[in-house]
Structure formats: C-alpha cells, structure tokens
Structure 1
Amino acid sequence: MDFLAGCIGGAAGVLVGHPFDTVKVRLQVQNVDKPLYRGTYHCFQSIIRQESMFGLYKGIGSPMMGLTFINAIVFGVQGNAMRYLGQDTPMNQFLAGAAAGAIQCVICCPMELAKTRMQMQGTGEKKSKRKLYKNSLDCLARIYKREGLLGVNRGMVTTLIRETPCFGVYFLTYDLLTRSIGCEPGDSYVIPKLLFAGGMSGVTCWLSTYPVDVIKTRFQADGVGGVYQYNSIADCVRQSVRKEGLRVFTRGLTSTLLRAFPVNAVTFATVTLVLMYARGAEEPKECESETPGGDRHTGHPACDLSLGGVTPT
C-alpha cells in the first residue's frame, strides 16, 4: 500500500509541477544571444499565449510513464539499504537515499531525455508545423534507431552526479526537519508539519545540485534535429561558462524553487491521505510505520511518510 500511495502521490506532484519544469527547461537552454524569454513570469506568459495552456504540459507523458518504475526501484533500494545499515540515523538516511538516487537513474535518465526533447519541440508555436516526435515513446524509439543505447542514455553521467547527492540531501533534510519540529502521536498539526518538511526538503535538495541540472538539461536538449553543439559534458560546461559566465548555473532556478515546495507538499498530502484511507484512520495514529522495504522501526519521532521514491522536484 505504501508503494501505491507513493505512485499516486507522485502522479499528483507531476501534474502540479510539470508546467514549472517546462519553464525551467526553456530558460536553461534558450540562446543567450537571442533570448526568447526575459524571465520566469515572461516565459509562462509567452508559452500560454503562443502555445496555449497545453504548451506547459509538453513532455508530461514521459515522467508519468516512468513514475511507477522509479518508485519501485527507489522503494526497494531505500528499504534494503536501511535494513542493511540497521539504525535509523540521519547519516543512514542520507546513504540510503543516495543509493536509491543512483540506481533509479537507469529509468530517470531516458525518461528525462524524452521529457526535455518533447518540452523543446514546437517552441513558440501554437500548432507545431513539423513534429519531430509524436510522443515520449516515439522520441526514445527515434533516438535509439539513430544513436543506439548510448543515445537513449545521453546525460547519464550528469544524471548520476545530480541524483545521488540530491536524494541523499532530500532524505537527510526530511529526517532532520521531522525530528526537530516534532511529529508526535496525536499531534493535530502532524500533516502540515509533514508537508512543510517535504516542501523544504525538496527546495534544499534542488539548491544542492542545481548547477549540475543545468548542464544535464543542456546536454540532453542538444542534438534535437540531429544538430549537436557539445562534444562532451566538459565541452558543454566550457562553452556555457564562456558564453554566459557563472550565471548560467542559475538559469531557471526561480521556477524550480517555485515548483519544488508545492510539488512536494501536494505529493506528501496525497500519500498521507491514501495511507490514512487505506488504514481506515482519520489521522495518523502512531509514529511507528513501515519503511519502504517493509521493516518497522520506532526510533524516529516523526511518522515515516516519505515521497516514496519520487524525485524531489
């Protein structure tokens, strides 16, 4: 049931946060010499005016499709890692989260590649005159046909560099926050506290790895239409810094942080409500809960209602 709750909560988070992700991607990869957007708000306005509201949801099929697999991987790795480490401590939370983040990249990287390519398709057009990709699956199929497995896994190194510490920081921050604000049995504010902890954890983990995300996005967006600008990740970093300076590493950060808190809050709310409904309770009755891997632990003062493997976004 924890797995199902995590999947439903993750889907809700994707629906809420995808428009912000589209804006982030557009800002990260736009040409600095001829920028289409002046900032986050202008980007939102332009996409809606030029491409309609549906333009904000381009590429949503990819994260929706990959969600179940990502949750399955992270649940299993997180649970087994915590069981292997034995004690529920902040450091172990970081290590278990980092391990989960690294392994789920097998699904995350191709998923985000398709999402990025779809989000960039038809920029500034209400109805694309020529669509390179029909949908996310068609996008991956075409990339595989043209470039093989290496093409489908383009950006894997940057994804690993981003996801491993990102998940570790997320679980560590969530653990520290829930311990400090106190989620005690019978506390009437337990759900708002969990939402706050989840939202702040999402913000913190994005701040810790955001520069890597900029390079990952640029590297994965490169090659649309068969035209490549970067020879390697190092070349991407070198060209980006040379043209735009260090400010390049903060492109799209505003929309990312605006997205991080509500997405994690909505995800937590959904997970909590699904678990409460499934357990036939009106509110969390105890702080003893199952870990993602199925073990039970009582060392944590907070109810263990994590995102269930959804990438903090």
Structure 2
Amino acid sequence: MQDEDEYEGLPANAGYMVNMLAGALAGISEHAVMYPVDSIKTRMQVFSASPVAIYSGVGNAFARISSTEGMRALWRGVSSVVLGAGPAHAVHFGTLEAVKELAGNMGCTPMLATSLAGASATIAADALMNPFDVIKQRMQVHKSEFRSVLTCARVVFRNEGLAAFYVSYPTTLAISIPYNAIQFTVYDQLKELMNPRREYSPSSHIVAGGVAGAVAAAVTTPLDVAKTVLQTRGTANAADLRNVRGMWDALRVIGARDGFKGYLRGLTPRVLTSVPSSALSWMSYEFFSTLLSHAFACPNFGLQKLQFEQTHRPGCWARGV
C-alpha cells in the first residue's frame, strides 16, 4: 500500500514556478472580480470638493455612479490591475513559499516563518505593482480624464515624473507588510485548525481566506486612506492635498481635514473587497497550485478525468482509461 502524498507537496521538477503561476492566476481572478467595489472604495477615500463625488455609503455610491456615469465607470482602470496583478502575484507567491521554506529550515517557529514570508513577499510584489496601482486610482476617480492605461501612464510621467509612480511606495509597504503578515498568519493558523489533515478543502480555504482578509483590511485602513491621498494628489485642487509629500504628511492632512473619521474612510468597501477577494485568492491559489503541481508530475494529465485519489504512480491523480 503506497503512502498518499500531501496535496500541497510539490514535485521536485515543478519548483517555485508552480507557486508563481498559481499566484498569477489567483491574483488576476481576485482583482478582476472585486474591481467595482474597489473603485467605490477609492472614490470614498478621495477628498473631493465636488458634492457629487461625496458618498454616504457603498450602496449610495453604487447607485449614484451607475445612474450618472454608467456601470462601465466602475470598471475603469481594470486593465491596469490585470496587467500588474499577474506578475506581482507571481512574485508574491513565489517569494512567499521560498522564504517560508528558508525560514523553517533556519529553525524559525511556524508563526515567525509565515510572518517573515508574508512581509518579504510584499516588499518584492509591491515594487512591481505600485505604478499599476497609481494608474488604476487615477482612472477610478470621479470625472477622470483617462480611458487608457498607456495614456494615463504617459500623462502622469510627463506632468509629475517617475516619482509619481513611487511616492506612495513607502506607504504601500507600511500597509502591505502588516496586511500580508496578518493575512498570511491568520490564514495559515485557521487553515491548520480547520483542515489539520491538510487535504484539498475549498471550503476551509474560502473561510480562512475571508476571515484573514477582513482582519488585515480593517487594521490597515487608515494607512490605505493615506496611500489613496498620495496616489491621487495630482488630481486634487486644494494645495494641501496636491502638495502632500509622504505618509506622515498625508496622515496629518487627513486628520486636519476630517478628524478621526477621516482615517476610516472606505472601511466598509475595503473590508467588503478584502473578504471575498482574499477568499477567492487563496482558494484559487490552492486550486491552481494543486492542479499545476500534479500536471507537472503527470505527463499524460487529463483535466476531464481529474480526481483526487492517487493511483498507478505516486504523486499522480487517477485519470481513468
């Protein structure tokens, strides 16, 4: 009787490419599905002088944007996310697995290893994703002049220089490092609690991913508001917003303009986005990781006969005859 491999165990010939490809597919799935809610979050975080662009809640924002600008406005800039999310998530998940394994081999505790892995993955992925995120938010704002990713990138670069694409990078890291460390740690612990046998279990991946995303999003919302202020400063009319220089300056301006409640702008849509997107991201990652790892291991892999029982040779799923 042969031993059954753990579903998460990758074959030697797959390596980190499987994690990177799975991460890329998961990232694109995550961002594309939840993009309209992310657009609402961006608009709620921007300090606008126009009462037309001030929303009382997610439902109010959705109704007013769709009725005055059309549903397509909620998807404006999605191509920037798709272009950036694939490579960024590939780097993220590849780094995640590599650092987690390295930290474990160095004797770190599981919790410390997962936290270090989450933080390291973020530093690498955000360096790649930040310019795409700037373009995305410039296209999401109320009455944005941009309809093309390339046009937006060219105009921002011409008017504000390369620094415009990275002015929010320190703030992004200040958000993303704790966000991903919290998310990955909560996810890993919940997954272990819900699925101690480490079997392929979409339900446990969805629940653990959703809870992890909600906790991480809520904790880091104030910094996310500061990031939005920095990334959209070129569209602002007020001098204090247009000349904001960095994270602490942005936090100061937010407090001066709106008090404590300013730091919670967009909290609801941020959590609403993070719960399903994190659940979808982890579910997609686990699925694609499992699918691809067995595809690498089994040369004659047939998707239409995919099963999770292993027969014939170790590491392969039953394919039927």
Q: Distance in 1 between matches of 2:142 and 2:48?
A: 15
1:3 equivalent to 2:20? Answer yes
The one of 267, 271, 279 aligned to 2:285: 271
Check the 8 A contact 2:19/2:94 in 1, yes or no. no
Residues 227/158 of structure 1: CA separation in 2 closer, same or farther (3 Å cut): same
- 1:56 maps to which residue? 74
- 2:186 maps to which residue? 173
1:220 equivalent to 2:231? Answer yes
The correspondence of residues 1-313 of structure 1 with structure 2, limited to 5 A, is 1-31=18-48, 34=51, 36-85=54-103, 86=105, 87=107, 89-122=110-143, 131=145, 133-184=146-197, 190-224=201-235, 229=241, 230-233=243-246, 234-278=248-292, 279=294, 281-283=306-308
Q: Which deviations, in whole Å up to 9, do the C-alpha atoms of 1:229-270 show, x marking residues without a partner?
A: 233233322222112110011111111111211112223333
Gaps spanning 5+ residues in structure 2: where? 1-17, 295-300, 311-321
Tell me the amino acid that sits aligned with residue 157 of structure 1.
P
How far residue 37 of structure 1 moved from its aligned partner, in angstroms, is: 1.4
How far residue 9 of structure 1 moved from its aligned partner, in angstroms, is: 2.1
How far residue 209 of structure 1 moved from its aligned partner, in angstroms, is: 1.3
How far residue 101 of structure 1 moved from its aligned partner, in angstroms, is: 0.8
Q: Distance in 2 between matches of 1:185 and 1:166?
A: 24
Q: Distance in 1 between matches of 2:182 and 2:269?
A: 20
Check the 8 A contact 1:171/1:201 in 2, yes or no. yes
Check the 8 A contact 1:98/1:164 in 2, yes or no. yes
How far residue 122 of structure 1 moved from its aligned partner, in angstroms, is: 2.0
SS of residue in 2 equivalent to 1:214: helix
How far residue 108 of structure 1 moved from its aligned partner, in angstroms, is: 2.1
Q: Distance in 1 between matches of 2:251 and 2:205?
A: 37
Residues 40/30 of structure 1: CA separation in 2 closer, same or farther (3 Å cut): farther
Residues 244/33 of structure 1: CA separation in 2 closer, same or farther (3 Å cut): farther
More RCO (CA 8 Å, sep 6+): 1
Identity of aligned residues (%): 25
Q: Distance in 1 between matches of 2:272 and 2:227?
A: 20
Aligned length: 276
Check the 8 A contact 1:109/1:154 in 2, yes or no. no
Residues 100/275 of structure 1: CA separation in 2 closer, same or farther (3 Å cut): closer
Residues 106/244 of structure 1: CA separation in 2 closer, same or farther (3 Å cut): same
Tell me the amino acid that sits aligned with residue 158 of structure 1.
T
Tell me the amino acid that sits aligned with residue 63 of structure 2.
Q
Q: Distance in 2 between matches of 1:58 and 1:270?
A: 24
Task: Detail structure 1 runs of 4+ shifted over 4 Å in the superposition.
Answer: 225-228, 275-278
Q: Distance in 1 between matches of 2:142 and 2:269?
A: 20
Check the 8 A contact 2:20/2:92 in 1, yes or no. no
Gaps spanning 5+ residues in structure 1: where? 124-130, 286-313
Q: Which deviations, in whole Å up to 9, do the C-alpha atoms of 1:197-243 show, x marking residues without a partner?
A: 11111111112211100010011111127875233233322222112
Tell me the amino acid that sits aligned with residue 218 of structure 2.
L
TM-score normalized by the length of structure 2: 0.78
Residues 56/78 of structure 1: CA separation in 2 closer, same or farther (3 Å cut): same
SS of residue in 2 equivalent to 1:104: helix
Tell me the amino acid that sits aligned with residue 174 of structure 1.
Y
CA RMSD in angstroms, aligned pairs only: 2.5
How far residue 29 of structure 1 moved from its aligned partner, in angstroms, is: 0.7
Residues 283/134 of structure 1: CA separation in 2 closer, same or farther (3 Å cut): same
Residues 225/204 of structure 1: CA separation in 2 closer, same or farther (3 Å cut): closer
Higher-Rg member (1/2): 2
TM-score normalized by the length of structure 1: 0.80
- 2:319 maps to which residue? none
Q: Distance in 1 between matches of 2:149 and 2:89?
A: 19
SS of residue in 2 equivalent to 1:146: helix
Tell me the amino acid that sits aligned with residue 232 of structure 2.
A
